Amino acid sequence: MRAIIGLFLLVFLSAAPVHAASFDCSKASAADEVAVCRDGTLSGLDSEMGGLFYAYDKVPMFMGGNGARHDAAEAFLSDRRACGSDLTCLRRVYTARIAALKQGIEGSMQQFSDLQNNAPPITVPVPPAIETLIAGYAEQCKNLGGTLDAGSDRPGLLSGDLDGDGIADYVLNSQNLKCSTGAPAYCSSAGCAVDLAVSSDGFATPIKVVGRTPTLVQNDTGTTARLAVDSSNCPGAKPEDACWASYSWNGGKSQVSYAVEPTAGM
């Protein structure tokens, strides 16, 4: 796993935005920020840290527990401010932060691996009721006078035991579907149509959501489906924040919770 995490970070961070520091040095005024911008070693450490945090923000498998990571980020900023212009103190704080982020990513990758290995597999073919849901997307395009483009005629599928009955459940994501009419059949500015279908009701009444980046997250109580939804679901959300919906099942009953999480920051 350590070798995999190292290779992953090398590939991923090479694609992440590269800056001299994780903040705008032209606007740096605090003693700690000025010190980071002026010292090449610190600037490099800051960029590495920024790339690691970027992974949490952009890679779905790392998104569970963002609230706790935000608290850790705030603690880091507080520690950095306390260092002021002390380079030794700053390097120690950055080194500890980077180590913690790497450990967190490694843990998330292991958790994701465990989820994939333990989740009920997507059977081929998928259950008839799921195929019926898939056919409904094609019917929607047909009603608009078109057909689904070849190669983009099936929604993305995620599978996991959401309702805890030991049978595979499904998350259907319409984002990749392309209707030949060019009409926005499945997506809008708020996101794309997502169906959460569970086996406990025979996949008969899927929860229909509009959002982005659906993913499955393994936690202490089971598997949760998460996706970014319209900010109207999170009163008080700032423009730079994202609103995430988490769907879980308890005793066969579904429940949803919403949480504001930053889309950027350390």
The structure's pTM equals: 0.56
Mean pLDDT of 168-185: 85
Cβ contacts of 220 within 8 Å, gap of 6 or more: none
Residue 67 vs residue 183, higher pLDDT: 183
74 pLDDT more than 80: yes
Mean pLDDT of 230-240: 84
Tens digit of pLDDT for each residue in 16-43?
Answer: 444 446 788 888 899 999 999 998 889 8
pLDDT digit string (tens) for 92-126?
999 998 888 877 777 666 555 555 555 555 555 68
43, 24 Cβ separation under 8 angstroms: no
- Tens digit of each residue's pLDDT (9 = 90 or more) over 180-215: 887 677 888 888 999 999 999 999 999 999 998 898
Say yes or no to pLDDT of 11 above 50.
no
For residue 65, which of 98, 112, 22 has the smallest C-alpha distance?
112
Give me the percent of the chain exceeding a pLDDT of 70: 76
53 contacts: CB under 8 Å, gap ≥ 6? 22, 73, 101, 265, 266
Indicate the pLDDT class of residue 128, thresholds 50, 70 and 90.
Answer: very high
Please write down the HEC assignment for all residues of 133-201: HHHHHHHHHHHCCCCECCCCCCCEEEEECCCCCCCCEEEEEHHHCCECCCCCCCEECCEEEEEEECHHH
Percent of the chain, pLDDT > 90? 31
